[in-house]
Amino acid sequence: MATHSSMSTIGSSPALLRRMNSRAVLAELFRAGPDVGDPGRASRTVTELVAAVGLTRPTVEAALTDLVAEGWVEELKAVATPNRAGRRARRFRIDARSGLVLGIDLGLHAVVGVLADLHGDPVARTEQFAPTLAPIEQAVAAVREVVDRLVGTLPPGRLLAVTVCVPAIIDRTGRIVHTVAAPEWQSEGITERIAALVPDAVTVFENDAKAAARAEAAWGRLHGVRDGLLLVMGRQIGAALVVGGAVAQGAHGAAGEVGGLAATGWPGAARALEARTGPGTGPTSPGGRGGSALAGGSGAALGVEDGRAAVRALAADVAPGVAQLVAAVDPEVVVVGGEVLPDGEEFCTALAAELERLPGLGVPGAPAVAVVPSGLGRDAVSRGAVARSLATARAERLGLGAGLHAGVA
């Protein structure tokens, strides 16, 4: 198990320089990525590391010795390809199971937890359902159950970071400052009580839509995108923005929080959809964010033509708000996710058509903004929580600084 040493214990300049060198090597090994069945692809030789980080061979070898001793890095068995001296090249890679991170999606009717390794690959997943989690006691109890299932048997220090995602605005200090979904969560104590469930880990809270955008940036349709928009289709429609390759937070954590503005058309859009498709025809989502009669296919609960008409009408309802964000951010792509999402491809086609019809939107001569469905499904928020936990672990526990990978900045 990794020793989790801290820079605060380093008192001399040579020790600090050695620590900095080891972090440069560690960062390069993280860039190699996960194994995916090919140890050579996920590892680096000493020669490759020397070239990548610009340090001398003895310095890199010393850094690797430190990293292996700390537990973050492992040396692979010698490969068959000899180097010029006739010796087999030594290869090193991240020991992805040396530390674990936890992502939690706390909704109004369920908690979803995903435990992942240091590459973000899921190790375990669980859900805890409840009639309501709006009261603090029920919410904390449900999170405790999920935490116990996933990390209850882990040795101390193995869990590095936890992110809890909620349908709320989170300020820069990590406080829940506003939520329409569960007002009781704004009272003092819920964040501290949940953090106390995992005392050895660094615990942070994040807005659920912003977490979903992190997941899209790390593993989904926003990967490699500098400027993008995630539209979250729930009972309360929301959005998150990726600007300059990072999820925008805003001065008070409210960037993208336009769902309550009447001018967007969003406050009544989900209700209008239910009115068209019939009340009670959509299931409640596991996360408590609502379902839809159209989710998973435009003809699921209606005739095909009526279903398509409802999809087009919903696209027309939400288009004004999407257009306002598109004009403000100038995104490369709009990704549509959420659990009141009708037939993904059909809805995105209809929304793109609505945006093209709006006068004055976009740059003359430039291609229209692409509108595409998310491919992450119902675990987008919990995967986004994992992405945030990875960034936290690498910055605060491994000493690598925030934003090592563009997708988890």
For the domain that residue 54 is a member of, what is the CATH number? 1.10.10.10
Assess whether 231 and 322 both reside in one domain.
yes
Domain total of the chain: 3
pLDDT at residue 209 in the model: 96
pLDDT at residue 2 in the model: 66
Assess whether 251 and 344 both reside in one domain.
yes
Assess whether 155 and 196 both reside in one domain.
yes
In a domain, 84, yes or no: no
- Residue 389: closest CA among 174, 189, 162, 202: 162
pLDDT at residue 298 in the model: 46
Picking from 94, 129, 146, the residue at the C-terminal end of a domain is: 94
Assess whether 201 and 325 both reside in one domain.
no
Assess whether 259 and 189 both reside in one domain.
no
pLDDT at residue 114 in the model: 98
Assess whether 186 and 282 both reside in one domain.
no
- β-partners of residue 129 are 110
181, 108 Cβ separation under 8 angstroms: yes
Amino acid at 184: E
Classify 338 in phi/psi space as left (phi over 0), alpha (psi -120 to 50) or beta. left
Picking from 69, 94, 119, the residue at the C-terminal end of a domain is: 94
Assess whether 149 and 294 both reside in one domain.
no
Cα-Cα-Cα-Cα dihedral of 318, 320, 325, 328, to 10°? 170
Task: Give pLDDT tens digits along the chain (409 positions).
Answer: 565 554 444 445 888 999 999 999 999 999 987 765 555 568 999 999 999 999 999 999 999 999 999 999 999 987 555 555 566 789 999 999 999 999 999 999 999 999 999 999 999 999 999 999 999 999 999 999 999 999 999 999 999 999 999 999 999 999 999 998 899 999 878 999 999 999 999 999 999 999 999 999 999 999 999 999 999 998 789 999 999 999 999 999 999 999 889 999 899 887 887 787 765 444 344 444 544 444 544 444 455 667 788 899 999 999 999 999 999 999 999 999 987 666 789 999 999 999 999 988 878 878 889 999 999 988 999 999 999 999 999 999 999 975 433 333 3
Picking from 63, 94, 125, the residue at the C-terminal end of a domain is: 94
In a domain, 338, yes or no: yes
Assess whether 183 and 240 both reside in one domain.
no
In a domain, 83, yes or no: no
pLDDT at residue 84 in the model: 55
Assess whether 159 and 271 both reside in one domain.
no
Domain that holds residue 126: 100-212+381-398
Q: What is the C-alpha radius of gyration for the chain, rounded to an integer number of angstroms?
A: 23
**Distance between CA atoms of 405 and 47, rounded to whole angstroms?**
23
Joined tokens for residue 191: 């964040």
For the domain that residue 261 is a member of, what is the CATH number? 3.30.420.40
In a domain, 406, yes or no: no
Cα-Cα-Cα-Cα dihedral of 148, 149, 150, 156, to 10°? 40
- Residue 89: closest CA among 53, 56, 57: 57
In a domain, 284, yes or no: yes
Side-chain half-sphere CA neighbours of 33 within 13 A = 9
Assess whether 181 and 50 both reside in one domain.
no
Assess whether 147 and 262 both reside in one domain.
no
Side-chain half-sphere CA neighbours of 298 within 13 A = 20
What values do phi and psi take at 330, rounded to 5?
55, 60
**Distance between CA atoms of 25 and 50, rounded to whole angstroms?**
9
In a domain, 4, yes or no: no
In a domain, 147, yes or no: yes
Full 3-state SS string of the chain: CCCCCCHHHCCCHHHHHHHHHHHHHHHHHHHCCCCCCCHHHHCEEHHHHHHHHCCCHHHHHHHHHHHHHHCCEEECCCCCCECCCCCECCEEEECHHHCEEEEEEECCCEEEEEEECCCCCEEEEEEEECCCCCCHHHHHHHHHHHHHHHHCCCCCCCEEEEEEEECCEECCCCCEEECCCCHHHHCCCHHHHHHCCCCCCEEEEEEHHHHHHHHHHHHCCCCCCCCEEEEECCCCCEEEEEECCEECCCCCCCCCCCCCCHHHCCCCHHHHHHHHHCCCCCCCCCCCCCCCCCCCCCCCCCCHHHHHHHHHHHHHHHHHHHHHHHHHHCCCEEEEECCCCCCHHHHHHHHHHHHHHCCCCCCCCCCCCEEEECCCHHHHHHHHHHHHHHHHHHHHHCCCCCCCCHHHC
**Distance between CA atoms of 170 and 205, rounded to whole angstroms?**
7
**Distance between CA atoms of 319 and 26, rounded to whole angstroms?**
45
- Residue 202: closest CA among 157, 260, 138, 258: 157
In a domain, 46, yes or no: yes
Assess whether 275 and 354 both reside in one domain.
yes
**Distance between CA atoms of 328 and 361, rounded to whole angstroms?**
10
